Amino acid sequence: MNKHEHTRRHGLVLAAASLLALAGCGEKANLAPAQQMGENPPLPRPKAYLLPPMKVPDFAGWQGDARPQVATGLQIEKIASGLMHPRQVLVLPNQDVLVVEGNGPGEEAITTPKQLIAGKIKNQSGKGGKGGNRVTLLRRKPGGGEWDKFVYIEKLHSPFGIALVGDALYVANTGNIMKYRYTPGETKMSDPGTELGDLPSTVNHHWTKAMVASPDGKYLYVGSGSNSNAGENGLEVEYRRAAVLEVDAATVASRVFASGIRNPTGLQFEPQSGKLWAIANERDEIGADLVPDYLTSVREHGFYGWPYSYYGQHVDDRVRPQRPDLVKKAIVPDYALGSHVAALGLLFYTGDALPQYKSGAFISEHGSWDRAPLSGYKVVWVPFANGMPSGKAQDVVTGFHSADEKHLFGAPVGLAQDADGGLLIADDVGNVVWRVTGARR
Amino acid sequence: MNSTSQASRSSITSAIFDVLDPIPFGFFVAALVFDILYVETFTILWVKAAAWLVSIGLLFAIVPQLINLGRTWFARGRTKALAINFWLQVAAIVAAIFNAFVHSRDAYGSMPAGLWLSVVTVLALVIGRIVLAGDRVNYREYRHEQA
CA distance A34 to chain B (A): 28
For a pLDDT cut of 90, what percent of chain A falls above it? Answer: 85
Which residues of A are less than 8 Å from B44 in CB distance? 232-234
Residue among A114, A235, A315, A322 with most chain B CBs within 10 A, to mutate: A114
Residues B80-126 pLDDT 10s: 999 999 999 999 999 999 999 999 999 999 999 999 999 999 999 99
Residue A23: pLDDT over 50: no
Helix (H) or strand (E) holding A365: strand A360-365
Question: Is B52 within 8 Å of A113 when comparing Cβ atoms?
Answer: yes
Determine contact: A45 vs chain B, CB below 8 A: no
Q: How far apart, in whole angstroms, are the C-alpha atoms of residue A385 and residue A289?
A: 28
Q: Which of A198, A199, A191, A147 is nearest to A168 (CA)?
A: A191
Question: Is A14 within 8 Å of B90 when comparing Cβ atoms?
Answer: yes
Residue A218: pLDDT over 90: yes
CA distance A432 to chain B (A): 35
Name the closest residue on chain A to residue B73, using Cα atoms.
A4
Q: How far apart, in whole angstroms, are the C-alpha atoms of residue B117 and residue A145?
A: 62
pLDDT score, position A98: 98
Question: Is A113 within 8 Å of B83 when comparing Cβ atoms?
Answer: no
Which residues of B are less than 8 Å from A10 in CB distance? 87
CA dihedral A238, B48, A109, A113 (to 10 degrees): -140
pLDDT score, position A18: 47
Radius of gyration of chain B (CA): 17
Residue B137: pLDDT over 60: no
Average confidence (pLDDT) over A145-166 = 97
Question: Is A231 within 8 Å of B107 when comparing Cβ atoms?
Answer: yes
Determine contact: A228 vs chain B, CB below 8 A: yes
Residue among A320, A322, A323 with most chain B CBs within 10 A, to mutate: A320
Average confidence (pLDDT) over A379-405 = 96
CA distance B106 to chain A (A): 5
Residue pair A247/A177 in contact by the 8 Å Cβ criterion: yes
pLDDT score, position A120: 78
On average, the pLDDT of chain A sits at: 92
The dihedral sign for the CA sequence A145, A377, A109, A304: positive
Confidence of residue A5 (pLDDT cuts 50, 70, 90): very low
Residues A407-431 pLDDT 10s: 999 999 999 999 999 999 999 999 9
Q: Is B9 helix (H, G, I), strand (E, B) or coil?
A: helix
Pick A233's closest partner by Cβ from B44, B90, B94.
B44
Question: Is A111 within 8 Å of B48 when comparing Cβ atoms?
Answer: yes
Q: Which residue has the higher pLDDT, A125 or A65?
A: A65
Q: Which residue has the higher pLDDT, A122 or A101?
A: A101
